[in-house]
Structure formats: C-alpha cells, structure tokens
Structure 1
Amino acid sequence: MNNHYDVIIIGAGSFGMATGYFVARQGIRTLLIDSYNPPHGYGSHHGETRLFRQAYTIDEPYTPLAIRAGVLWDELMQETLVPFFHRIGVVNVSISPSGLDAKINTASRFHVPVELLDAVQLQTRWSGISVPEGAVALFEPTAGILYCEQAISAYRDLLLQHGAILKTQTPVERLEPHTDGVSVYTKDACYTGERLLISAGAWTGNLLHSLSLPVSPIRKTVAWFKPNSNVYRAPDFPGFTFTVGESDYYGFPDFDGKGLKIGRHDTGHPINPQEPLLPFGRYSEDEADVRDFLETFMPQAAGQLNEGKTCIYTMTPDEDFIIDTHPEHPHIVIAAGFSGHGFKFASALGEELSSILVQGKSNLDLSRFSLGRFE
C-alpha cells in the first residue's frame, strides 16, 4: 500500500475537515487522521450549535474572515443541500452603555448591517429579555446559528468524494519531521507526507511538546432549559450574547422544543485531554451559573434543565488563534488555540490553511495569529 501523501492533516475536526475539503478538491493526494470518528463529543465542535456573527470587537482579521466564512457556509449548503445554517439574527447585549462601541465601529467599517437598540427597544422587540435601564444591544440580522456537527459532516462527505482518505479511531503516536517532508506514526502504520497540518485541538500541545505551545485545554459546559413561555422559540427569538461586567454569556433560541441553550464563555476548569472529561453536573456551577443568568435576564426561560453537555476550549493567553508554520520546519502548519470562538470561521480558515499548505501563503493577513507574538 502507498502510504505517501502530498498533504497529511492530523485532527479532522472543524478546521482539519474544512482544510481537507479545500485541499482535496484541487486533486491533491490528502490524508486526514483523527483519534475518534468526527464529528464526535471529544473536541470543541460538540454541542450541536454555534453562533455566527460578523461584527467583532477586534476587527482585523476577524470580521473579514467572518464575511468570507458566511459566503463559504452558504456555498457548502448549496452544494450539499444540508440546511445547517439559519440566519435568524444575533443580538449582542451589554449591561454597560459603552460595552458595544468597538462592535459598532467594526460594523460601520465593514458595512455589516446592524441595529442599535436601547433597553426599552430591546425588551419591546423580545419580551423574554429583561435588562436594567442603560443596557444597550446591537442586533445583527444577517448573523445566525450554525449546526456545527452537520457542517463538519458535510465537509467530510465532500472531501471523501474528492478522493481524500480519512483514518478514524487512529491516534497519532509521534511525528518525525524531515527536511523535505514528515513521517506520521500510528499504532499500525507509518504515513509520509510532503506537508503537514496539525489541527488536533486540545491534543496539539502534546504532539508539539518541544514547542511548549501556550495553549490550555479547558472543560466547558452548555445547558438546555425548558422555557415557561413560547417567546424563546426560533426563528422569532435570535441567538444572543450578553456581557455582564467581566462575564460573557451566549445562547440560542429554542429549536423544535428542545429548549433554550446557554453557556458561559469566560469560565471553566483546566483539563488534561488524555483523561476522561468529567460529565455535566460534576460541578454545581455547571447548572447554577447559567440558571442564575436566566433568572436575572430571561426569567421565563429558567425552567427545568432538559440536558447538559461538556466540550473543550483550547485557550491561548490572549484568546487569539495560533495559525503559523513550525519555526524549524516550514512545511508543517499549526492551527490551534481557537479559544472558544473559532468555529464560525472554520470555512474561511479551511480555505486559508489550504492556501498555506498548497501555495505557501494565505490570502488574508493572518499575522495576528503568529507564534512570534509569544516570544
């Protein structure tokens, strides 16, 4: 068997699968390797849904990437006929009157359609929301909800159609870089490639231990609550983010009666990804933290807990991504540290990573994500 490939991708999650599609459709011999069978419940793409929005606090390169990602998500839906993207809008709420200034400026600069609402207008538009006087909101009508596992499955189907090989349930045991390529060792085989992408999420640091990447895997939780009112039903109720002091919450409307989904971005417990992830409910705050939020700001949504799930964030110190080539082996590309806000960009970053692998450079300026910023 010929185990040599033009491009090998370790980690076939959000970014690995998208990159694999963009590489394979060019007729390039491509191998993807994953320790599990994606989509799965052991990475950062678990939990069914992700918010998609374009007005970011930090504009470059996030908003240009999000704009491109939206185009590519739409194209993927058209090609696969899988309806995983619902543009029902996202409302960003800040209890501080000045908390949305950066997003407003970004929206203006990149012509992202938004609507600024005061507290009265917000509560009139969506009666299920309760905020104090002085709160402000920014509604982005072209934003929406991505069903992440469905999107990954769509990319998986297409890359296989384009001739890529996907090895699942195949942990990588070690890497051996060469001047003109790389050897990737699993329990049962050795694969060689000319170029390598490592997009293994929380496991990236272990694969590249000699680099001491500044990434920290964090256990995160999300919960679905049964509302006591139909006002939280999609598509009438939007996705949402809330900034309350130093705390950031995010959530999704009730789709098909499953419940309103909510999580908190800024907390979590450090983990060792080699050990089993503790289930939802192991810590009292798994439910209590988000229930307290609902009781304060969406009281009619704070019904019984329908379900809770865990997933993993892989955090960097500044919450910016790491996308760069290996400092000693430029044919090895690293994509890591997506810090809980990466999935919305997976389509666009898959395109960018494929360009780095095939052409040697990205289309957009991704210097913000350089490893050199940590030196």
Structure 2
Amino acid sequence: MSSHESNLDILLVGAGTMGLAIANALAVEGQHRIGVLDRCAPPHREGAHHGHTRLIRVAYGEGDQYVRLARRAHTLWQTLDQHVDGGVFHRVGVANIGDPEQPFLREVANSARLHDLPLTCLSADEAMHRFPGWRLDTSQRAYFEPDAGVLLTEPIINAWRRSLETSRNVAWHDDADIVRLERNGEGFTAIARDGRHWSAERLILSAGRAVTGLGAQLGLHLPLQRVRKVFAWFDADSRYTPLCFPGFSFTGSIGDYYGFPDLDDQGFKVGRHDGGQPVDADEPLAEFGAYPEDLNDLLALTSRHLPGIGALREGAVCEYIRTPDEGFLIDEAMPGLFVACGFSGHGFKFAPAIGEALGHWLTTGERPEELAPFTLERFR
C-alpha cells in the first residue's frame, strides 16, 4: 500500500497526550490543514496517559517556571470537565509532604507566595488529624493545596480524539507507524512502515520514546533518556476515600513519591517519582515485579507512613522520557521542525496549556513567554 498526502500545512507525528493537545489547539485556531499520525489508537497502554489518573497542582515544587502554565492548564481542565459526561477532574486537593527545609517543599511554598495561590501549611499533628490515613514524623509538614486534584486520563484522551475526528481541517491516521522522516524542498515528509507518506511545510515531533531515533534522521540529536518506572494499586480502608484523603506528593529520605485516593473502589494508587531503570529506546519494559525494588520501594512508603494500606492489587510499568535537568523540551529545533518531548513524568497536567501555547507559536510565529524556559539551547 502506498499513498502520499501533501496538501497539509502542519504534520504532527505522535498523537499521545501532547500530540492530541497540540492538534486540538491548532484545530480550534482553524487556520491550518493538519495531519495527525500515530501507530496506536489512543487511549492505550503505550503512552504517557497510561494509568488512569494524574495529579494537577499549581503550587509547583519543580520550579517557578511551571506555575504560569499550571494555572492556565488548571483553567482549561475545568472547562473540559464541564463538557465531558462524568467529568475529568476530581477536586480532592493535593498535599505536598516532607521536611520543610527540602528544596521541593521550599519551592512549593515559594511559588504559592509569589503567585498568591491558596496553600495551607499543616504541622505533622494537624495533617494527621485532617487526613487520618497519614502517619508522619514530627519534623514533617504538609502543604495542602485545596483547589488541586486528580485528572482522569482516558476520558480526556477520548474527548480530544472525538474532537479531532470531527474536525474539518484535521486528517487523522492512528495506524501510521512512522519509521522515517526526511527533509524536502517544501518542508518535511513522514514515511510509514507500510509505504504511505505525508508531507507538510512544518512538522511537530511529539512521539515519546520514538523522538530520539526519528530526530536523528534529520540530524537532530536530543538529550533524552528513557527510564522504566513502576506504580501500583493497593487495598485500602475507609481513610483513603476522596472524602478524607487527597492526592499527594511525598519527599523524604526513602525517596520521592506521588499518590491518589481510592477513586471508585479502584484501589489506592502510589508510584515512586525518582529512581527507576534506564532503558534503550526500543527495549521492552520488564513487567512489574521483575526487580525486587518494584514492590519494595512502594512498601517503604506505605508501611512507614500509610497504616491503612493493605495488599497489592495490581502493579504496572510505565516510562519517563527525561532530559538531563528533567525540564521539558519544547522548541523549534530547526526551521520548521518543532519538538515537544522530555516531559519526565510530570507533563500530563500541563498538556492543554502547552498545546495552546505551541498552537499560538505555530499560528503567529512568536514563541510564547511561558515556553521560553524549555529551549534546546540550554543543553548546548
């Protein structure tokens, strides 16, 4: 089978979380004919949306450069929540827990102060009284953000996909396994394994772990590392329902963790944000339990600080595509070629704001200020 579509303005390779968000923003702009290519039909278990839930918080411990994007994303999530049956956002709050002298917690408090964000600092005793599921050390604090909460990934992906499938200016292909990118006189061509190819003046590369290999075909060498990560769901008692337990991030001597209340009796979900195993781009991810630390790392948190968490229900693996500084990589890497990658396990919450900002850049030719910290140049 061979076909060639060339009446496109923008070609988007990779229709996962960021690809869908960018394509939807461009479709709303309505000025471009857009080709959206992916080898899978989202939602699926291969992308960054895998695992059902993500946290959305605005008082951000990873750095002040994220707060403006987080605020805009929070607004856009609430708008989407009103238009999707069953909603996409649970406003359960997020507690950022740890020693207040740790850089992450200091940055959470600092971002709330600088941007006038609602944030309550609780002592260990106050936090355990308010959230009985926690057992904290006396030195620890909880910075609670009441307007934060939990995003439901699959309803989001489905909503974005339905929107694209009904858009007049979007050509959608979820069976396009792109194996080669080439430059041509008019821009770029993406070639699928089955011989089909698509061309456009501009190309957006947001294909997760495939970004490194595809970019290299155009002479683009990106500082990205793929890391195997794990998370799991556990049995939990009534202290861990959304009525009395928030989403959380935890930073301490045993590691950095994130977690979710037991939503709809799916189980208590927890993962470790640091650690993991570096893997090659094409290497299969070993199943949960292949390493002793897969479960042991999670039990280190639950056994010490979460007394009502019970037996393991299900473990899962995922991947981070990480830059050296764990910041995002969103840039025009060469004329006409834009990359959106390196989201390092904390990008999902920003997706609609990044899509909107990158759509604005492609439409106006002006880089939005909120994307300025994420250039490729910082690694050169």
Give the deviation of 1:221 after TM superposition. 0.8
Paired residue for 2:106? Answer: 101
> Residues 160-179 of structure 1 correspond to what in structure 2 (within 5 A)?
160-163=165-168, 164-179=170-185
CA distance in 2, matches of 1:124, 1:79: 36
Give 1:177 shift: 1.7
- TM-score with structure 2 length normalisation? 0.94
The counterpart of 1:12, out of the listed 15, 19, 43, is 15
Secondary structure in 1 matching 2:264: coil
* Deviation readout 1:135-155 (Å, 9 max, x if unpaired): 111000000001112211111
CA displacement, residues 73-104 of structure 1 (integer Å, 9 cap, x when unaligned): 11222233451111110000013545522211
Residue of structure 2 equivalent to 1:80: 84
Which whole-Å CA distance do the structure 1 matches of 2:366 and 2:89 have between them?
29
List aligned pairs for 1:308-347, cutoff 5 A: 308-327=315-334, 330-347=335-352
- Are the counterparts in 2 of residues 326 and 332 from structure 1 also a CA contact under 8 Å? yes
**Partner in structure 1 of residue 200 of structure 2:** 193
Q: Which amino acid aligns with 2:226?
A: P
Unaligned 5+ segments in structure 2 are: none
- Paired residues of 2:226 and 2:320 also in contact (CA < 8 A): yes
Across the aligned residues of Structure 1 and Structure 2, the Cα RMSD in angstroms comes to: 1.6
Corresponding residue SS for 1:256: helix
- Alignment of 1:182 with 2:188, yes or no, is yes
Q: State the SS of the aligned residue for 1:299.
A: coil
Count, aligned residues: 371
Quote the offset at 1:179 in angstroms: 4.9
Q: Does the aligned pair in 2 maintain the 1:239–1:251 contact within 8 Å? A: yes
Which residue in 2 is equivalent to 1:63?
67
1:300-359 deviation line (CA, Å, top 9, x unaligned): 11x1110111111001110100011123xx211001100111000001001111122222
In the TM superposition, residue 57 of structure 1 has moved relative to its aligned partner by 2.4
Shift of residue 211, structure 1, vs aligned partner:
2.3
Give the Cα–Cα distance (whole angstroms) in 2 for the partners of residues 46 and 360 of structure 1: 33
What's the counterpart of residue 314 of structure 2? 307
Q: CA deviation at 1:272?
A: 2.5
Aligned to 2:231: 222
Answer whether contact 2:53 2:153 (CA < 8 A) is retained: yes
The gaps in structure 1 that reach 5 residues or longer are none
Cα distance in 2 for partners of 1:6, 1:81 equals: 33
Distance 1:285 1:359 in 2: 48
The structural deviation recorded for 1:117 is 0.5
TM-score, normalised to structure 1, is 0.95
Alignment-derived partner of residue 140 in structure 1: 145
The answer to whether the 8 A contact 2:59-2:111 is kept is yes
Bigger mean CA deviation after superposition, 343-352 or 232-241: 232-241
Residues 77 and 267 of structure 1: is their aligned pair in 2 closer, same or farther, counting only changes over 3 Å? same
Going from structure 1 to structure 2, the CA distance change for 1:300 and 1:205 (only over 3 Å counts) comes to same
